[in-house]
Amino acid sequence: MARTAVVMCEYAHMSTMTAPRPAPNADDLLVLLAVARDGRYTAAAARLGLNHTTVARRIDALEQALGGRVLARGAAGWVLTPLGEQALAAAEGVERAMRSLSHETAALHGVIRLSATDGFSGFIAAPAIVAVRRQHPDVSLEIVAATRRAAQHRVGVDLEVVVGRPHVQRAEAIHLADYVLGLYASRAFLERHGTPRSPAELAGAPLVYFIESMLQVDALDEARRSTRGMTDAVSSTNVYVHVDATRAGAGFGLLPAFLADPHDDLVRLFPDEVEERLPYWLVCRPEALRQPTAIAYIAALRARIAEVGDELLGRARTR
């Protein structure tokens, strides 16, 4: 009887032991990779040709295999947990291994998602992807045009370009270039209202610039210091509206030189007194710097910036 009790106790102890976890599945890791890049199950499912339920099941299986959560819900979508970041590194290794077996090892494909200001998007980002696509036509670019601070959690985008030095955690920040803001007016506007002889005469004059109450970027807000005495005439969150409103004669525009200088109907005023130099910074998740498509695109951005460096700093205008 005593022997039976001992055996039963030993069996009970064995039955409470944790069963060994299954090894993570490579397919599940690739699903995690897609969710990390897209930020949403639905977008990852579309990328992979799966349905939302399958993506959720794959993530659940991966979490059971790893013994913890790999994703947490953020304000704008799913973000990686510390365990998820470790799993992501393994997922990228699986992706590289699969790519190495491809017969088209030199070809890149995929979508690059970029958040950037309007001016940068049109003048730098779009021409840069054209250069990439000449060699890799299966690479595409999605641009979210926005003038804002760098996000603390990059969900749904691979790269961000912001104005001013960002303060971010768990991200890489790289200075790309500087550009110049100058004060411009249309020739027709100056003919009607006269050309001011000094910045002091601008007090009360109509200004075209960002909506002050909605401006989230400190560097762009500080750039107003040379125009503080002026009166807002046309304000917009879009810099191309600034250019067009200034050309139409709405007032004096505080404009990027690279967007204003190509227009012969705009005159730059007081370049020595009114010139604000602002930096473009690239912010990206560390894993983005290991993606071949992102690496190729960042190289193209740098090449485009080198090509138009004089325009960015307002040095290309000859008149």
Q: Can you tell me the distance from the alpha carbon of 44 to that of 38, in angstroms, rounded to the nearest whole number?
A: 6
Mean pLDDT of 85-94: 82
Question: Residue for token digits 């920040």?
Answer: 173
210: number of Cβ within 10 Å: 23
Task: Decide: 109 and 138 in contact? Cβ < 8 Å.
Answer: yes
Residues 261 and 147 in one domain: yes
Is residue 191, in this structure, part of any structural domain at all? yes
Quick: pLDDT tens for 144-203: 988 877 665 555 678 999 999 988 777 788 999 999 999 999 999 999 999 999 999 999
Q: Which domain holds residue 219?
A: 106-319
The residue out of 100, 126, 160 marking a domain boundary is 100
Mean pLDDT of 75-96: 81
Residues 81 and 204 in one domain: no
Residue 245 has pLDDT above 70, yes or no: yes
Residues 46 and 117 in one domain: no
The CATH number assigned to the domain holding 43 equals 1.10.10.10
Quick: pLDDT tens for 101-125: 665 545 788 889 899 999 999 999 9
The CATH number assigned to the domain holding 194 equals 3.40.190.290
pLDDT band at residue 319, thresholds of 50, 70 and 90?
very low
Q: In the chain, how many domains are there?
A: 2
The residue out of 100, 130, 149 marking a domain boundary is 100
Q: Helix H segments across the chain?
A: 2-15, 26-38, 41-48, 52-66, 82-100, 118-120, 126-135, 187-193, 218-222, 239-247, 257-260, 292-307, 309-312
Residues 218 and 94 in one domain: no
Residues 193 and 284 in one domain: yes
Q: Can you tell me the distance from the alpha carbon of 70 to that of 82, in angstroms, rounded to the nearest whole number?
A: 7
Q: Can you tell me the distance from the alpha carbon of 281 to that of 148, in angstroms, rounded to the nearest whole number?
A: 12
Q: Please give the share of the chain, as a percent, with pLDDT higher than 70.
A: 87
- Mean pLDDT (the chain, rounded): 85
